[in-house]
């Protein structure tokens, strides 16, 4: 089972006891998977259709709790469809979702849901829970951090972004267009962790955090190894350059032309090409530190450079 499926399974098993939160969650499911069938002269019907069995099962549970409507339970294979044929029940559902005016005429909201249904923080959380269940996905945290909800219209995506960007959630969603759909997404691991906690998915949150810790350790190990490799390459390059400079001086004017302190270090460096500077300094007479060795090597390199440029030493 994918991590996204695990999250949805956990969320599907949680329905608030508060009616207003139940209605907010059902409004999200209907916004993403619901349809209104209204033909001239015929009573309106409502349905929910999804390829995800969890969406159908959660919708059926909410329909029963909110409106006392018991759906035929056949979840053998998808796509899964629930249809409310009873005109009175269908109209009650539409009125509860604030999709009709006082005269019973359909008045769909500009975005996903009527603002009155998600006024309270708890209702906003329930709505987001339903939205993710119906149209969301989240990547395996051991591989990448990516949370998204797909909307069919830009205005719906805009309302969803405003909801995620609300002050109490402190999230910063982004929007991209993918195959004529508007995708609201979050890629920061810390924010996705916050979101899972907000959606009341503690099991998924713990798995996500464990994966983040392991990834952090792996990244730290990689950074350390890369740093060690880079330092090693840098040391090898510097040592090779120092050896070339010393050999050039030896071929042109001879090492005996160098001052005693530089000649001693030059001979030692030729004998011990890979020895760290600290250890080289300890073998000199008198011993000197790493900075002193580095200072003398720079002098040797400068002498070699002057000789290459034809300058007198």
The predicted pLDDT at position 74 comes to: 62
Q: Which CATH number fits domain 3-200: 3.40.630.40, 3.10.580.10, 3.40.50.720, 3.10.28.10?
A: 3.10.28.10
Could you tell me if 71 and 63 are in contact, meaning their C-beta atoms sit under 8 angstroms apart?
yes
Q: Which of 288, 248, 231, 244 is nearest to 265 (CA)?
A: 288
Could you tell me if 297 and 266 are in contact, meaning their C-beta atoms sit under 8 angstroms apart?
no
pLDDT (tens place) for every residue of the chain, 313 residues total: 899 999 999 999 889 999 999 999 999 999 999 998 877 767 788 999 999 999 999 999 999 999 998 887 666 677 888 888 888 999 999 999 999 887 778 888 878 999 999 999 999 999 999 999 999 999 999 888 999 999 999 999 999 999 998 767 778 999 999 989 999 999 999 999 999 999 989 999 999 888 887 776 766 767 766 676 666 677 677 778 888 888 888 888 888 888 888 888 888 888 887 788 888 888 888 889 988 888 888 888 888 888 887 776 6
Q: Which of 197, 222, 218 is nearest to 207 (CA)?
A: 197
Q: Which of 195, 49, 48 is nearest to 124 (CA)?
A: 195
- Going edge to edge, which strands form the sheet with 45-50? 34-37, 45-50, 80-84
Residue 230 CA to residue 169 CA, distance in Å, equals 42
The predicted pLDDT at position 107 comes to: 81
The predicted pLDDT at position 256 comes to: 87
44 φ/ψ angles, rounded to the nearest 5 degrees:
-70, 145
Residue with tokens 């030493």: 313
225 Cβ contact partners less than 8 Å away, ≥ 6 residues apart: none
- All CATH 3.10.28.10 domain ranges of the chain, comma separated, are 3-200
Structure tokens of 201?
């998915």
Residue 155 CA to residue 175 CA, distance in Å, equals 12
Max Cα separation, the chain? 111
The predicted pLDDT at position 182 comes to: 96
- CA–centroid distance for 298 within its chain: 47
Residue 265 CA to residue 255 CA, distance in Å, equals 10
Could you tell me if 88 and 68 are in contact, meaning their C-beta atoms sit under 8 angstroms apart?
no
């Amino acid at each position: 089972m994918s991590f996204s499926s695990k999250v949805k399974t956990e969320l599907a098993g949680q329905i608030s006891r508060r009616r207003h939160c139940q209605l907010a969650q059902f409004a999200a499911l209907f916004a993403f998977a619901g349809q209104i069938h209204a033909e001239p002269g015929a009573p309106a019907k409502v349905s929910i259709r999804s390829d995800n069995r969890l969406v159908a099962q959660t919708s059926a549970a909410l329909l029963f709790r909110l409106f006392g409507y018991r759906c035929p339970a056949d979840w053998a294979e998808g796509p899964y469809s629930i249809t409310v044929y009873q005109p009175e029940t269908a109209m009650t559902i539409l009125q509860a979702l604030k999709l009709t005016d006082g005269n019973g005429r359909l008045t769909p909201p500009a975005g996903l849901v009527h603002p009155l249904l998600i006024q309270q923080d708890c209702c906003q959380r329930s709505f987001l829970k339903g939205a993710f269940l119906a149209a969301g996905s989240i990547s395996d945290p051991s591989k990448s951090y990516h949370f998204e909800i797909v909307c069919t219209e830009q205005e719906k995506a805009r309302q969803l972004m405003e909801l995620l960007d609300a002050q109490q959630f402190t999230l910063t969603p982004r929007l991209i267009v993918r195959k004529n759909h508007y995708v609201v997404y979050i890629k920061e691991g810390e924010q996705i962790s916050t979101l899972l906690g907000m959606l009341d998915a503690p099991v998924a949150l713990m798995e996500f955090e464990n994966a983040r810790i392991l990834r952090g350790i792996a990244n730290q190990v990689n950074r350390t190894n890369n740093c060690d490799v880079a330092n090693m390459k840098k040391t090898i390059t510097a040592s090779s350059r120092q050896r070339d400079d010393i050999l050039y001086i030896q071929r042109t004017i001879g090492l005996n032309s160098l001052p005693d302190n530089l000649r001693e270090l030059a001979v030692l460096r030729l004998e011990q090409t890979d020895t760290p500077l600290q250890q080289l300094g300890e073998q000199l007479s008198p011993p000197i530190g790493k900075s002193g060795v580095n200072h003398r090597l720079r002098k040797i390199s400068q002498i070699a450079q002057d000789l290459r440029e034809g300058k007198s030493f």
